[in-house]
């Protein structure tokens, strides 16, 4: 399905990114793995890189080859370390990498943003999510940016994913991507058994994480999420653009049922 495609995957040292890199390689892709941490095993090429600053993103982009077919934005942090770093990695760095890589991408390419069920509230918080999504580059002063946009330090994770879901839709209609027919989609998992889930347990509490898991019977594994990401990279997804693919065993359907009293 991905034979001969050159696919860049961030967060490839662990969890969902590592499994996506493995699966994309098995499907015939040439994989370029990016992470701040060096993976124990990696597929294709590995580039160490830090998405948390404009300088870090520029260094990554400089080292990327031309002729890229797809970018999988998987890297992310849990929010445990505060909203500043969480917004940097989960949103501003991801957005800047996506915008900067376009010149090296083929027409008809694909960008996949790993968001989360945690971003479900974007409609309720659309004004704030839109303001963050329209911000260009990294905010010069993150403390005042957070204050202006009413971003509580402990809510960095859901707010970063709400902004990402809004930006996915905006980017899919933005000339920068659209003029090259580059599709921009999101994949939203519920709880997945990866190292980050322990941090979610610390931030949200066991009860909240377990309640989400119980709604769908089990936590996901990275192998449940990677195929959805690979599909959106593929030509089979050529008419899917600006979409958020809930990859959560039905969790979003349960939340919809409860929220709208269906």
Ligand X SMILES: NC(=O)c1ccc[n+]([C@@H]2O[C@H](COP(=O)([O-])OP(=O)(O)OC[C@H]3O[C@@H](n4cnc5c(N)ncnc54)[C@H](O)[C@@H]3O)[C@@H](O)[C@H]2O)c1
Least separation, in Å, of the C-beta of 219 and ligand X? 7
Specify the pairing of strand 105-114 against strand 68-73: parallel
Least separation, in Å, of the C-beta of 52 and ligand X? 4
Residues in contact with ligand X by the rule CB under 6 A: 10-11, 13-17, 35-37, 49-52, 74-77, 89, 114, 116, 189, 191-192, 194-197, 200
Instruction: Identify whether the C-beta of residue 98 lies closer than 8 Å to the C-beta of residue 184.
Output: yes
CB burial of residue 230 (10 Å; 0-12, 13-18, 19+): buried
Task: Mark 131-158 as b/e (b = at least 16 C-beta within 10 Å).
Answer: ebbebeebbeebeebbeebebeeebbbb
Q: Which residue has the tokens 């377990």?
A: 210
Q: Which is nearer to ligand X, 241 or 252 (CB)?
A: 252
Q: Which is nearer to ligand X, 146 or 229 (CB)?
A: 229
Bridge partners (DSSP) listed for residue 183: 110
Q: Which is nearer to ligand X, 14 or 125 (CB)?
A: 14
Instruction: Identify whether the C-beta of residue 32 lies closer than 8 Å to the C-beta of residue 64.
Output: yes
Least separation, in Å, of the C-beta of 84 and ligand X? 12
Least separation, in Å, of the C-beta of 37 and ligand X? 4
The number of beta carbons lying within 10 Å of the beta carbon of residue 53 is 15
Q: Which is nearer to ligand X, 85 or 180 (CB)?
A: 85
Cite the active site residues.
157
């Amino acid at each position: 399905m991905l034979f001969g495609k050159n696919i860049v995957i961030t967060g490839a040292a662990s969890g969902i990114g590592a499994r996506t890199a493995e699966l994309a390689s098995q499907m015939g892709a040439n994989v370029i793995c990016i992470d701040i941490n060096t993976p124990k095993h990696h597929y294709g090429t590995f580039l160490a890189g830090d998405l948390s600053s404009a300088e870090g993103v520029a260094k990554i982009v400089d080292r990327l080859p031309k002729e890229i077919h797809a970018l999988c934005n998987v890297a992310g942090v849990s929010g445990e370390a505060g909203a500043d770093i969480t917004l940097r990695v989960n949103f501003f760095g991801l957005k800047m990498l996506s915008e900067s890589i376009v010149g090296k991408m083929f027409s008809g390419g694909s960008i996949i943003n790993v968001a989360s069920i945690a971003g479900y509230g974007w409609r309720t918080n659309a004004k704030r999510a839109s303001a963050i999504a329209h911000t260009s580059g990294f905010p010069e002063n993150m403390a005042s940016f957070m204050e202006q946009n009413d971003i509580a330090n402990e809510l960095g994770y859901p707010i970063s994913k709400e902004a990402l879901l809004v930006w996915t839709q905006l980017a899919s209609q933005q000339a920068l991507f659209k003029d090259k027919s580059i599709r921009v989609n999101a994949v939203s998992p519920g709880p997945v058994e990866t190292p980050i889930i322990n941090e979610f347990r610390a931030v949200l509490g066991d009860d909240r994480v377990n309640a989400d898991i119980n709604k769908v019977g089990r936590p996901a594994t990275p192998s449940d999420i990677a195929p959805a990401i690979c599909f959106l990279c593929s030509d089979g997804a050529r008419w899917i653009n600006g979409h958020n693919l809930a990859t959560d065993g039905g969790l979003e359907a349960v939340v919809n049922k409860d929220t709208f009293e269906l």
